[in-house]
Structure formats: C-alpha cells, structure tokens
Amino acid sequence: MSQPGNFFSGFLLGTVVGGVTGGILGVLVSSRLAQPEGATADGLQKLDAKSKKRQIKAPTEQSIETARRGLEDKIAQLNDAIDDVRHQLGSVNGNLASEPSGERSISQEP
C-alpha cells in the first residue's frame, strides 16, 4: 500500500479489461442461445409451444391458502427446533431455566 497511485490505476485497468471481456463473451453466448444450431421454422414452432406450457399461471385463492398453511407448518417446526436447541444449550451451560431471561410468557388477563 506504499504506492496508492499504482493500486488505483491497476484496479481501473482491471475493471475496464474485465468489463470489455465480459461484454464480448456475453454477446457471443447470447447470440448462440438465441438460435440453436440447425433450428428450422418447424423447430422454432415446437420451442414456442414448449415455452407456452411453461408459463406461470396466476395463483388462485386455494393455492395461496395451501401455501400459507404449509409455511405455517414449517414455521412451527422451526420454532420447535429452536426451542429444542435452546434447551440443549441451556443444559450444557448449566442454565436449566424454563424461560430464557429475555422472554416473557404471554398470558391472557381475566
């Protein structure tokens, strides 16, 4: 770091060379992906039909509800796993408290 001018010029040169190289490679790769070798009009129609099948459908209320329930189940599993690990770590450290010091139990007031 005794030559900060050389570091900056090297960094700038590397950025420019990397950007140009990445740009050239990106153009070459995208042009090959745009039209596969040996593609015919019939082949392109088949590709269009396949891409239509892969289109994402709009979610329905039922699918959203199913996803929400699945997420709630996963969250409950994660909370159980966290409680188990917290209990195990508490017994390793000699702290066998039923409630960690920073948490309070939620109780309904009459």
* CA 51 centroid distance within chain: 24
| SS3 call for 71 | helix
Instruction: Return the domain boundaries, the chain.
Output: 61-98
Q: What is the pLDDT of residues 48-99, one digit of tens each?
A: 666 666 677 788 899 999 999 999 999 999 999 999 999 888 877 665 555 5
21-33 confidence digits (pLDDT tens)? 999 998 888 887 7
Q: Amino acid identity of 59?
A: P
Provide the 8-state DSSP code for 105.
Answer: -
More confident residue, 72 or 36: 72
Residues 6+ apart with CB under 8 A from 90: 96, 97, 100
Task: Report whether 80 contacts 73 (CB < 8 A).
Answer: no
> pTM above the 0.75 mark?
no
Mean per-residue pLDDT, 32-36: 68
- Of 110, 85, 87, nearest to 100 by C-alpha is 87
